[in-house]
Structure 1
Amino acid sequence: MFGGFVANMTFGFLKVAMLFATVRAVGGTVQGYDVGSMSAYIWISQGMLGSINLNGRIDLADRVKTGDIAVDFLRPINIQLATIATEVGKAVFALIPRGLPSVAIGAIFIGMTMPTTVAPYILGACSLLIGITVSFSTVYLVAVIGFWLVETRGIQIFYMVISGFFSGLYVPISLFPDWLLVITEATPFPSMLMYPIDVLTGRVTGAASYGLVAAQLAWLAVTLAAGHLLTVAGRRKLEVQGG
């Protein structure tokens, strides 16, 4: 956790240097972002990084590969929901030693523009929890693809590359050209990171903020349904070496 916190701070200051320069180069505002709102985006995204799974990897992938998943199927639990709930619990805990200190560092040493009313924080907290859950329900899909593949590392690496870009980790997705923004919003990745940030920072308010949360819930339903179907199909005929 401490190592992750140090990494968050390091890349946070690097992003401050680059994105602040971008804002100032275009006259102080770019796509509605000024220095204060850009700082809020940078430090909240860095704080969320330890809780949002953008690397495409969970322990279940190894259990599928080794065949230990057969033991899990014998247990009186829902494998999908149990796996996601466990990972979400770890992720929420990571906000305490890693996420909140990262945001505090940005607020103290750089400063940021945040809402002055309570509503965005309440809705933002809900959006954050949904975003975390969407990230793990999507990564679960990568893990269970292992029922049909010998090795899923290639897919996991590909997932890691596209998820960071489309989730808005590097730059806000509103800076994308229109055609790329359309493609991005047709994926679940903005629901993991960008939408919670927009709600928490008050960049999107009113009906638009509820629309973002509704989009998150829709992607959560889609990924959970897809994960259920893949799990049912995968356990229909499961061969484990040695038995």
Structure 2
Amino acid sequence: MKRTKLVNQLTELLKPFQINDYCPNGLQVEGKAEIQKVVTGVTASQALIDAAVARGADAILVHHGYFWKGEDQCVTGMKKRRLQTLLANDINLLAYHLPLDVHPELGNNAQLGKLLGLEIERPLEPWNKNSVAVKGKLTTPMTATDFAALVEEKLGRKPLLNIAGEHLIHTIAWCTGGGQSFIDLAASQGIDAYLTGEASEQTIHSSNEQQIHFIAAGHHATERYGAKALGEYLAAQYNLDVEFIDIDNPV
């Protein structure tokens, strides 16, 4: 498949031009014009790049790429080594940050909800069509302890759980990755629990004082599923050889 066609198809699917993001979305590093083997992953770390080189990949597709707002623009050290490896092996790097979070079917929120049996009802910010947090419900209400056990079973790691009250979880809001700041908005809407990847010191106070259960299941762990689903979609639609590689991260 031609690189230009793949980029165009991903642009049409994910519509990055509709979202104000913290990084460029799409083709970040240009490589081979013809793409057949694609490696997908969460973050374009050196370990993922090295794995892609070992597999003879023509392109890497990730959620966390490069060139974030505010980062040092100098190509030195770690950044130099990563870019050098990509360029030396003529590997394309494609990255989709918020567009991959919010996609209604392939996105991180949608895929995490599917994995945990959560039904999405609407954006947590109904005034924002690109809201990166969503509000939904459990198909079967359960205690906070039982829900945390379900998260542990499905994601393969024990989450941080803060129980705030004795109420069952009927309604839940969630945002994969570093979405802890949305807990106050979820609480203001009377939602029973909030699930995300990370926690800040003040998050636990918000949880306790507003009686909303809080679960932090890991930034990486909650965002493994969007890039994987997107790769599977590309394999089915365009007969590409796609492999998801999970470079584990405890955060």
TM-score (norm 1): 0.29
Higher-strand-fraction structure: 2
Higher-helix-fraction structure: 1
TM-score (norm 2): 0.29
